[in-house]
Each structure stands twice: as structure tokens, then as C-alpha cells.
């Protein structure tokens, strides 16, 4: 009995430590037009869309989370509202009242939730907006004048990188004074790291960000799955994984929908084709007929096909497999967590491996080269 109690204590302690817990949420809607209402639940790793169209005025959710404070993100009539969920069992009352001209969309004041990017309720955010006012104006002007050139004009990209670093420096200086407030941790992730990931490839800079992260935020944030994913994102930039033809596939293994590990190397099949896709990805769906043709043309002894979906919604994932007659092995990489460790930030991607795990064909975006793949497979 004492051993049982100890095991239960350890289980509960681990759930609290790693931020994995079930959250129950009741959402009351009053005066809301559902055709212009969207709601997402963010569990610390993946953001899920919640279909409210079939619900009545009361929505009840239960979700597993990987963060001390999961989030609800709402859009209504073109405006966006973000809330931290403070308790494992929480209630949020959402109203729309057109007679309130200034703030027709509002939620009840409650200890269960906290508005995130709100200068009234968050003194940290208020200080950030004040201290970085000049930089925010510069960033707005840059996007207004040169937004269409951000990806193509090296001069514009340089200006954006330098401005991002300047904003990061000032932001982190502010956050250092509030390390134990979860808002600081969240702001570092969403307003420092995520924008930087898209504009900066300097490994030394990410080393500095990682050092700041480790010395600033407490373990109760860093040791959650959300916190560990932040570290993985920075480490991927510090020591990037490169997928190239002629190189060996990194030792990253996925599980199939039955929970069994999918091995890529030293297999009985001569080749393994990995298709990284999602049900919402138009180009991914467009090349499914080509993959289906490969499946029908070559024996399973010669070619093993593995679909790796980065969908966040398992229902859409399974529905798409059935509708598109994808009769091969499948893995559900929810939200692309493992795929991201390969450096994949977009799909579709096709990787063809030989029996030893060497990459013999790699395609990022666009339709696959069926002629080249056929030549590789028939050459064996």
C-alpha cells in the first residue's frame, strides 16, 4: 500500500513538473454570431481549432496540456483576443453587445482566465509597449512600405534582422526583472524567439538566446514540454539538421498510428519513401495520386511508403487518409513536433531512402519528379 501511495505521488508530481495535466473549460456564449466567431485552444505545443458551429451557448472542453497555462485564442469580426487559462477547471463567459459602442465584445472578469496582450491588466506588457514604442513604429513602417519584399530584398531583410535584434535586446532587458511571471516566459517565446526564427540564422546569436533563457526563467517553466520544445527550436538553429541527397537520414524515428516505431535503416525493403504532409496542405494533396501510383506500381518488398502528417487534428488526419485512399503506413506527428527537429518548417516534403538509410531523392515543395523516382527504383 505504501508503495502504491508512493507511485501515485510520483505520478502526480511528474504531471505537475512537466506541465502535463487535463484542463476542463466551460465557455458560455451570449449574443455571439457563430459565423464570424473562431476559437482555438493552445496546449503549449499545438494550436487546435475548436468547431463551435454545432454547439449551443455552452461549450465544454477537456484537453491534455503541456504548459502551466494553456491559452484560448478567439477571433470575432476581424479582432483577436488571447487568454491564459489559470485553473484546471475554468469558466469563461463571452459576450457581444452592440449597444456597447466602445467594447461590444468582452468577457467577464474572472480569476479563471487572464487577458494576455492587454496593457490594462498586464504591467509588464504596458512597460514593453512604452519602452519599445519607437521600435514598434519602425517595424510597422517597414512592413507597410516593404512587406512584399521581406523575402526577396536582401537590404530589407537586413534592416528587419537588425531591428528584430534591437527589439529583442530591449525586450529581454525588461523581462529580466519579471522572470517568475509566466507572461515573461510567454512573451520571450512568442515575441522574441518566434519572430527571430524566421529572420535570423546566426548560430552564435541563438547560443546567446539559449543562455539567456536558461539563466532567466525558472525550472517550473523550462522543464515543461512547452519549455523543452523552446530549447529544441533554439538548438536546431545552433546545430541545424540538413537533409541532402547523398547524406544519411538523421536518427529520428516516428511511430505509426498503432504506436509501433517506424524504422528507416537496415530494413527488408530496398527503399523507404517518407511523405511529410497535412490534410490542409493543397500541394500535399495534389501529389497523393502520384504516391498512390508508386504504391500500385512497385511491390511492398521493394518500396515502403510512410505518410507523416503534421496535422494538429487527428480527426482531419484520419478522414483525409480514408477519402484519398492512402493505403500505406501512416504516422501522426501532431503539430509537426518531430518533423521540426529535421528543420522542416513547411510542406510538402518527400524523402526517399535506400535500404541503408541514405537519402537518394529529396524534394521540398512542388510536385515530385516521378521520372526520377521511377528510375531510382527500377535501377535496384
CATH number at residue 53: 2.60.40
The verdict on 262 and 344 lying in the same domain is: yes
Using the 3D structure, point to which of 115, 132, 159 is the last residue of a domain. Answer: 115
Q: Are 243 and 362 in contact (CB under 8 A)?
A: yes
CATH of the domain at 340: 3.40.30.10
In a domain, 102, yes or no: yes
- Residue 102: CB atoms within 10 Å: 5
Residue 235: band (very low, low, confident or very high) from pLDDT cuts 50, 70, 90: very high
Q: How confident is the model over 286-320, as pLDDT tens digits?
A: 999 999 999 999 998 899 999 999 998 888 899 99
Residue 100: band (very low, low, confident or very high) from pLDDT cuts 50, 70, 90: confident
Q: How confident is the model over 64-96, as pLDDT tens digits?
A: 999 999 999 988 888 888 999 999 998 888 888
Residue 264 domain boundaries: 254-379
> Whole-model pTM above 0.85?
no
Q: How confident is the model over 164-207, as pLDDT tens digits?
A: 999 999 999 999 999 999 999 999 999 999 989 878 888 999 99
In a domain, 194, yes or no: yes
**Three-state SS for 30?**
strand
Q: Are 284 and 348 in contact (CB under 8 A)?
A: yes
Q: Are 243 and 351 in contact (CB under 8 A)?
A: yes
Residue 14: band (very low, low, confident or very high) from pLDDT cuts 50, 70, 90: very low
The verdict on 70 and 143 lying in the same domain is: no
The whole-angstrom separation of Cα 11 and Cα 227 is 20
| Residue whose entry in the numeric block shows the C-alpha cell 532587458 | 173
The whole-angstrom separation of Cα 358 and Cα 370 is 19
Q: Which residues are CB-neighbours of 345 under 8 A, at least 6 positions away?
A: none
pLDDT value of position 343: 84
Number of domains in the chain: 3
Q: Give yes or no for residue 6 having a pLDDT over 80.
A: no
The verdict on 297 and 232 lying in the same domain is: no
Q: What backbone torsions phi and psi does residue 338 show, to the nearest 5 degrees?
A: -70, -40
**242 vs 6, which has greater pLDDT?**
242
Copy the grid coordinates of residue 18.
512537466
pLDDT value of position 380: 64
In a domain, 295, yes or no: yes
What is each CA distance from 13 to 8, 9, 136, 224, in whole angstroms? 8, 6, 42, 12
Using the 3D structure, point to which of 115, 134, 157 is the last residue of a domain. Answer: 115
Amino acid at each position: 500500500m505504501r508503495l502504491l501511495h508512493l507511485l501515485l505521488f510520483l505520478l502526480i508530481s511528474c504531471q505537475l513538473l512537466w506541465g502535463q495535466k487535463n484542463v476542463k473549460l466551460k465557455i458560455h456564449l451570449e449574443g455571439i454570431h457563430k459565423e464570424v466567431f473562431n476559437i482555438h485552444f493552445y496546449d503549449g505545443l499545438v494550436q487546435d481549432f475548436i468547431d463551435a458551429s454545432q454547439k449551443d451557448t455552452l461549450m465544454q472542453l477537456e484537453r491534455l496540456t503541456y504548459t502551466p497555462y494553456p491559452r484560448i485564442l478567439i477571433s470575432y469580426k476581424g479582432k483577436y483576443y488571447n487568454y491564459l487559462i489559470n485553473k484546471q477547471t475554468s469558466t469563461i463567459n463571452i459576450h457581444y453587445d452592440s449597444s456597447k459602442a466602445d467594447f461590444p465584445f468582452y468577457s467577464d472578469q474572472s480569476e479563471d482566465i487572464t487577458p494576455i496582450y492587454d496593457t490594462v491588466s498586464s504591467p509588464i506588457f504596458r512597460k514593453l509597449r512604452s519602452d519599445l514604442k519607437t521600435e514598434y513604429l519602425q517595424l510597422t513602417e517597414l512592413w507597410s512600405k516593404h512587406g512584399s519584399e521581406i523575402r526577396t530584398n536582401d537590404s530589407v531583410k537586413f534592416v528587419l534582422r537588425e531591428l528584430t535584434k534591437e527589439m529583442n535586446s530591449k525586450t529581454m532587458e525588461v523581462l529580466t526583472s519579471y522572470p517568475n511571471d509566466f507572461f515573461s516566459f510567454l512573451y520571450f517565446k512568442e515575441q522574441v524567439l518566434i519572430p527571430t526564427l524566421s529572420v535570423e540564422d546566426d548560430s552564435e546569436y541563438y547560443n546567446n538566446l539559449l543562455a539567456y533563457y536558461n539563466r532567466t526563467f525558472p525550472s517550473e517553466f523550462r522543464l515543461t514540454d512547452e519549455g523543452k520544445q523552446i530549447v529544441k527550436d533554439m538548438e536546431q538553429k545552433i546545430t541545424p539538421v540538413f537533409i541532402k541527397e547523398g547524406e544519411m537520414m538523421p536518427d529520428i524515428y516516428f511511430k505509426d498510428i498503432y504506436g509501433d516505431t517506424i524504422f528507416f535503416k537496415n530494413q527488408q525493403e530496398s527503399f523507404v519513401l517518407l511523405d511529410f504532409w497535412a490534410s490542409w496542405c493543397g500541394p500535399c494533396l495534389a501529389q497523393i495520386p502520384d504516391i498512390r501510383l508508386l504504391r500500385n506500381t512497385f511491390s511492398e518488398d521493394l518500396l515502403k511508403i510512410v505518410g507523416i502528417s503534421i496535422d494538429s487534428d487527428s480527426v482531419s488526419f484520419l478522414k483525409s487518409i480514408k477519402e484519398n485512399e492512402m493505403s500505406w503506413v501512416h504516422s501522426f506527428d501532431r503539430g509537426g513536433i518531430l518533423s521540426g527537429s529535421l528543420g522542416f518548417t513547411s510542406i510538402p516534403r518527400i524523402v526517399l531512402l535506400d535500404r541503408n538509410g541514405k537519402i537518394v531523392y529529396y524534394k521540398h515543395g512542388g510536385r515530385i519528379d516521378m521520372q526520377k523516382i521511377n528510375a531510382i527504383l527500377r535501377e535496384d
